[in-house]
């Protein structure tokens, strides 16, 4: 594939010309995941300074180190020789690297007894991950969660910023009726949207989750996330599902002050609402509906254990103790690191924006350290 501004726009236009219209989710799927040309499948830098956005694992190893600590508690609780840590959507692999390094250095017995499996859709990211993680032997890659047998996994299935990268349907309420957005092109190959009556599947989703969006609202429905959490539930025999991402419960997500929904595009660290530009070159993401993950997970035996935010989760796992140690050291480097750690927990920033949903299946005493103290149960936290 040629490097540079090859973006998949030509392929997108060909597909729409052939089909007439495509649902918004398919437009998003093509722009993000079209083989070799989509945003996530191309060899363009995405995460980090040279990319379009930062993730927590890119900022500082502490995120992976504290997660590793949480995983050790779960390992001891489950007490099985078949313990797997399954990470879905590992990006550049930093989180896997920090978790595996922490286990190897601080919990060698646990390290020897686990298998780490990455499920990754992007061949570009798999290549980077394999290079970074080449010194670890107990690691394996799969393309999809369906590559596991039903009830095969004992351990943890987790993700950081996975579901926000799923293609979503756009819906709109007009005169009390729900419409679905489709994408079309005009004679000059400009993209534009039209509305059609929403499918049965979308209407069922809204009914099952008891969602009644306000008149005039345009918002997203992540049917892919629904299907995926059901699949995870089927593959997990015993253990935990830990989902880290930005988002809200239904009660908050569809409040009238979000009349335009939460869809955003990221390009070179700037965000916009214009998904028609930079096709295949910019990220398109939406907030995760955590009520949906909780509800559909339950259908496959995943019981919700708790729902918290990153600040509470990391503090419960010992972030403040790390701050204190850095303060004691007190040199320039220590203060620089303290600033990075603050970014992870700042209210109004990552600390509150990022949520953690913990679900468990076939576990008796489900309490874990990361949920010791949870935020006040306002609409932002009630699933
Ligand atoms: C926003 S990045 C998050 C990266 C990483 N977790 C981190 O913390 O830096 C999303 C990742 O999920 C991957 N991805 C998206 N959909 C996926 C799917 N259905 N299965 C597996 N990986 C997927 C993308 O290729 C990308 O690596």
Structure-token pair, residue 346: 């700042």
Give the pLDDT band of residue 48 (cuts 50, 70, 90). Answer: confident
For the domain 9-371, what is the CATH code?
A: 3.40.50.12710
Residue located nearest, by CA, to atom 11 of ligand 1: 89
Cα(291) to centroid of ligand 1, in Å? Answer: 21
Residue located nearest, by CA, to atom 27 of ligand 1: 91
- pLDDT at residue number 6: 54
Residue located nearest, by CA, to atom 7 of ligand 1: 91
The residue to mutate among 60, 127, 162, 228, having the most atoms of ligand 1 within 8 angstroms of its beta carbon, is: 162
Cα(180) to centroid of ligand 1, in Å? Answer: 26
Cα(93) to centroid of ligand 1, in Å? Answer: 10
Task: Dump pLDDT digits (tens) for 121-164.
Answer: 999 999 999 999 999 999 999 999 999 999 999 999 999 999 99
- pLDDT at residue number 50: 79
Task: Dump pLDDT digits (tens) for 268-315.
Answer: 888 999 998 889 999 999 999 999 999 999 999 999 999 999 999 999
Q: What is the mean pLDDT of the chain?
A: 94
Q: Which atom number of ligand 1 is nearest to the Cα of residue 228?
A: 19
Give the pLDDT band of residue 51 (cuts 50, 70, 90). Answer: confident
Cα(212) to centroid of ligand 1, in Å? Answer: 30
Task: Dump pLDDT digits (tens) for 86-130.
Answer: 999 999 999 999 999 999 999 999 999 999 999 999 999 999 999
- Which residues, judged by CB distance below 6 Å to any ligand atom, belong to the binding site of ligand 1? 40, 47, 55, 57-58, 88-91, 95, 119-122, 125, 160-162, 165
Percent of the chain topping pLDDT 90: 87
The residue to mutate among 91, 97, 163, having the most atoms of ligand 1 within 8 angstroms of its beta carbon, is: 91
- Pairing, β 264-267 against β 283-285: antiparallel
What's the rounded Cα separation, in Å, for the pair 241 and 239? 7
Cβ contact 105:144 at 8 Å: no
- pLDDT at residue number 214: 96
Residue located nearest, by CA, to atom 1 of ligand 1: 161
What's the rounded Cα separation, in Å, for the pair 159 and 164? 11
Residue located nearest, by CA, to atom 18 of ligand 1: 121
pLDDT for 1 beyond 50: no
Cβ contact 351:319 at 8 Å: no
What's the rounded Cα separation, in Å, for the pair 248 and 115? 32
Cα(325) to centroid of ligand 1, in Å? Answer: 33
Q: What do you get for the CA distance between the two ends of the chain, in Å?
A: 44
Least confident of 42-46, 104-108, 204-208, 258-262: 42-46
pLDDT for 3 beyond 70: no
Classify residue 217 as exposed, middle or buried by CB count within 10 Å of its CB (0-12, 13-18, 19+). middle
- pLDDT at residue number 9: 85
What's the rounded Cα separation, in Å, for the pair 203 and 195? 15
The residue to mutate among 165, 271, 282, having the most atoms of ligand 1 within 8 angstroms of its beta carbon, is: 165
Q: How many residues does the chain have?
A: 383
Residue located nearest, by CA, to atom 25 of ligand 1: 122
């Amino acid at each position: 594939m040629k490097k540079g501004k090859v973006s998949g726009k030509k392929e997108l236009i060909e597909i729409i010309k052939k089909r007439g219209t495509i649902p918004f989710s398919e437009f998003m799927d093509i722009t993000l995941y079209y083989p070799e040309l989509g945003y996530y499948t191309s060899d363009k830098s995405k995460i980090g300074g040279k990319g379009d956005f930062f993730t927590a694992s890119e900022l500082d190893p502490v995120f992976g180190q504290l997660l590793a600590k949480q995983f050790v508690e779960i390992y001891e609780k489950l007490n099985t020789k078949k313990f797997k840590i399954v990470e879905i959507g590992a990006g550049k692999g930093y989180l896997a690297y920090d978790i595996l390094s922490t286990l190897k250095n601080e919990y060698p017995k646990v390290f020897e007894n686990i298998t780490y499996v990455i499920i990754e859709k992007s061949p570009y990211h798999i290549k980077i991950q394999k290079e970074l993680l080449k010194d670890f032997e107990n690691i394996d890659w799969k393309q999809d969660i369906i590559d596991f047998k039903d009830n095969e996994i004992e351990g943890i299935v987790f993700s950081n910023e996975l579901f926000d990268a799923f293609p979503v349907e756009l819906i709109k309420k007009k005169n009390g009726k729900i419409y679905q957005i489709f994408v079309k092109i005009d004679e000059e190959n400009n993209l534009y949207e039209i509305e059609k009556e929403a499918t049965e599947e979308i209407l069922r989703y809204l009914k099952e989750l008891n969602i009644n969006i306000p008149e005039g609202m345009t918002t997203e429905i992540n049917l892919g996330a629904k299907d995926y959490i059901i699949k995870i539930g089927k593959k997990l025999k015993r253990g935990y599902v830990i989902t880290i991402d930005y988002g809200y419960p239904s009660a908050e997500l569809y409040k009238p002050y979000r009349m335009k929904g939460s869809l955003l595009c990221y390009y070179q660290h700037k965000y916009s609402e214009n998904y028609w530009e930079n096709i295949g070159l910019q990220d398109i993401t939406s907030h995760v509906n955590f009520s949906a993950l909780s509800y559909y997970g339950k259908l496959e035996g995943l019981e919700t254990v708790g729902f918290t935010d990153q600040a509470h989760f990391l503090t419960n796992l010992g972030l403040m103790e790390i701050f204190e140690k850095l303060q004691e050291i007190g040199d320039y480097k220590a203060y620089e690191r303290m600033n990075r750690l603050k970014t992870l927990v700042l209210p109004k920033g990552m600390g509150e924006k990022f949520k953690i949903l913990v679900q468990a299946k076939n576990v008796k005493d489900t309490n874990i350290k990361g949920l010791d103290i949870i935020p006040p149960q306002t609409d932002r936290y009630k699933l």
